[in-house]
Amino acid sequence: MSGGLQTVPDSRGHFGIFGGRFVPETLIPALEELEQEYRRAQNDAEFQREFHFYLHHYVGRPTPITFAERLSEWLGGARIYLKREDLCHTGAHKINNTLGQILLAKRMGKRRIIAETGAGQHGVATATVCARFGFQCEVYMGEEDVHRQALNVFRMKLLGAKVIPVMSGTRTLKDATSEAIRDWVTNVRTTHYIIGSVVGPHPYPMIVRDFQSVIGQESREQMIEMTGRLPDVVVACVGGGSNAMGIFYPFLEDSVRLIGVEAAGRGLDTKEHAATLATGRPGVLHGAASYLLQDEAGQVMPTHSISAGLDYPGVGPEHSYLKDTGRAEYVTATDEEALEALQALARMEGIIAALETAHAVAHAIKMAPAMPKDSSILINLSGRGDKDVDIVSRALGGRL
Amino acid sequence: MSRIAERFALLRETDEGALVVFLTAGDPNPVLTERLILTVADAGADIIEVGIPFSDPLADGPTIQASTFRALQHGVTPDAVLDMIARVRSESAVPLVVMTYFNPVWQMGLECFAEHASEAGVDGVIMTDMPPDEAEEWHAVAHQHGLDTIFLIAPTSTTERMRLVAEMSSGFVYCVSRTGVTGARDDLPEEVPQMLEAMRKLTTLPLCVGFGISRPEHVLAVCGIADGAVVGSAVVSLIAQQAEQGEQALLESVHSFVHVLKRATRRGD
């Protein structure tokens, strides 16, 4: 593995041909300010101490690694380990990033926070840190997702946030993100935009990756401690790709296979999927160049996934880069496979995973039987499934 | 000299500001857009910005989002818009600027887009989500094909950024009047004169102010301090309102609105 990966993004936020800053001029000074503040914070021991203090005492880190003993036995191949991000406060990895960004907003003196959300996990994580640190919080959410994820909408409201339903376009995460950017263009002087994934204009993909990389750092040490060595494979689901980037990043220089799993929805042969890296081509959406699901003329295509968090036509620029350099592999799992994996994990390990996460579990289930018994797969168990119980019960139609 | 530069030279002689009008190509339908462009030119617009619709217009407010959506429903593509511009060009010498987002241009290929646009008779290109920092290659390609590259400054732009925009721009500089998205507003922000003054020190290019300019009195005020005013959402929303009234009525109302706007650019009056 070459050392080159650690040098991306370059000073202009480019990961090879991906990344960059494709936003209206109005936002560029705010992005420059954010980048400068972030670089100062990175070198500020007090900031790092505060971030890690709250990661420990508020988020509940380090999260454990669980050996999935019965699942591994059933599959009869590689030993499967689960990095338990579902045990983070608010039930998913999203809070690692929102905590870091709220501390940055505090340093920049911006008291109003906006965010976009798909499944609602990032919205809840943003509303949570806003409540904890006393910030005003408004969350944009596609009207379709407001219905699909009613429980998370109510959680955000309980936490004191305002949830703004977005009625434009496909009324999902893509349009919620566009609307959040429009708000930011308008209120940029007083507002910090907490992007929830490794997407958007530079420096967001870098900042979100760095805050989430605590997942991979802990995993590396824990796997060595538990098994005496690194895992052979790390698997994570990819929508925008923040949990995947967070667990991949500290393993980039190791000889560990990194596999991202995208949503194949109703199948790659239909148009109803969200498999951006598998079937898209380079384009620009929401401020960065990355793989993109688009038509011939460059219009962004509607997507489908049973999991709202993966239902997005773009993907992080660094994943696009890792795909092209070959350092990471990207595969897909269908709605059906995710539902089966969710049930298998629930029955054999007593863990109900989020539908997003279930895509990663599905791929591990596919590959483990063919691997030697002394090998290991580490799955980033990025979130818990309470929010999805309704959708799962409807999808299974009482087949339990 | 480009058509845009020629037009500004002419306007200086007659002591007028430029009236720049934006239309979304394909709204209310592709055939009418062609006639609307000619009508707007005939009513006195000095420069016409033709919007190539993009599915995710993040710098646009509800009015232009809706027109974009209608245009895409008609299946309008960047190629079709450039072909339409070529037909307009055969009937009019009005300066024509394409306004769009980066992705449709990137997908066609910068070289291919510039060549096609230039052959069609396009004079300049604005891409709302492409700041000059990302535009090195585009700048070279566009100038090879004789296209003006128009970049934007905003009230948040620092002197350093204004300098970069000045270096990379040709034709004119688009000065965004406020922090926000496109859309008609009631008032003009107070910070505009300050922004123009700062930019004047860095460039001799004409400065046109847009975003929220919707009434003749706004155009009058803007032309007192800038070289031109851009009216977009107000025209687009008039088109949306009148589209049901039949083609003739639509063209007449747009003609008379643009005519009144143009009158407000004449400083001597």
CA distance B66 to B161: 31
pLDDT in tens, A223-277: 999 999 999 999 999 999 999 999 999 999 999 999 999 999 999 999 999 999 9
Q: In sequence order, what are the beta bridge partners of B175?
A: B153, B209
What range does the domain containing B153 cover? 3-263
**A132 to chain B nearest CA, in Å?**
29
Is residue B63 one of the residues assigned to a domain? yes
Q: What is the pLDDT, as a whole number, of residue A3? A: 41
CA distance A317 to A313: 13
Is residue B223 one of the residues assigned to a domain? yes
Coil, helix or strand at residue B10: helix
Is residue B116 one of the residues assigned to a domain? yes
pLDDT in tens, B223-244: 999 999 999 999 999 999 999 9
pLDDT in tens, B9-38: 999 999 999 999 999 999 999 999 999 999
Residue A21, C-beta contacts closer than 8 angstroms, at least 6 positions apart: A12, A13, A28, A31, A201, A202, A287, A288, B131, B133, B134
Q: What is the pLDDT, as a whole number, of residue A169? A: 85
Higher-scoring residue by pLDDT: A390, A210: A210
B7, B45 Cβ separation under 8 angstroms: no
> What φ, ψ does residue A149 adopt, rounded to 5°?
-125, 50
Closest CA to A101 of A180, A47, A141: A47
Q: How many CB atoms lie within 10 A of CB A162?
A: 13
Is residue B27 one of the residues assigned to a domain? yes
Residue A63, C-beta contacts closer than 8 angstroms, at least 6 positions apart: A83, A84, A85, A87, A88, A215, A218
Residue B13, C-beta contacts closer than 8 angstroms, at least 6 positions apart: none
Is residue B269 one of the residues assigned to a domain? no
Q: What is the pLDDT, as a whole number, of residue A148? A: 82
pLDDT in tens, A16-75: 999 999 999 999 999 999 999 999 999 999 999 999 999 999 999 999 999 999 999 999
Per-residue pLDDT band for A165 (boundaries 50, 70, 90) equals very high
pLDDT in tens, B138-155: 999 999 999 999 999 999
CB–CB contact B179 A296 (8 Å): no
Annotated catalytic residue within B16, B27, B46, B49? B49
Is residue B148 one of the residues assigned to a domain? yes
* Least CB–CB distance from B106: residue in A186, A283, A286: A283
Could you tell me how many CB contacts below 8 A there are between chain A and chain B? 116
Coil, helix or strand at residue B109: coil
Q: Is the pLDDT of residue A399 over 80?
A: no
- Give the β-pairing of B173-176 and B207-210: parallel
Per-residue pLDDT band for A372 (boundaries 50, 70, 90) equals very high
Task: Provide the H-helix boundaries in B124-246.
Answer: 136-144, 159-168, 192-200, 216-225, 233-242
Q: In sequence order, what are the beta bridge partners of B252?
A: none
pTM: 0.97
Coil, helix or strand at residue A117: strand
Q: Is the pLDDT of residue A6 over 70?
A: no
A213 is catalytic: no
Q: How many domains does chain B have?
A: 1
Q: What is the pLDDT, as a whole number, of residue B255? A: 98
CB–CB contact B155 A26 (8 Å): yes
Query: Residue by residue, what is the 3-state secondary structure of A253-264?
Result: CCCCEEEEEEEE
CB–CB contact A298 B78 (8 Å): yes
Is residue B87 one of the residues assigned to a domain? yes
* Least CB–CB distance from B154: residue in A26, A169, A187: A26
The rounded percent of chain A whose pLDDT value lies above 70 is 98
Is residue B268 one of the residues assigned to a domain? no
Annotated catalytic residue within B16, B60, B148, B227? B60
Q: Is the pLDDT of residue A340 over 70?
A: yes
CA distance B36 to B86: 15
pLDDT in tens, A92-108: 999 999 999 999 999 99
Nearest CA in chain A to B107: A298
CATH number of the domain enclosing B250:
3.20.20.70
ipTM surpassing 0.90, yes or no?
A: yes
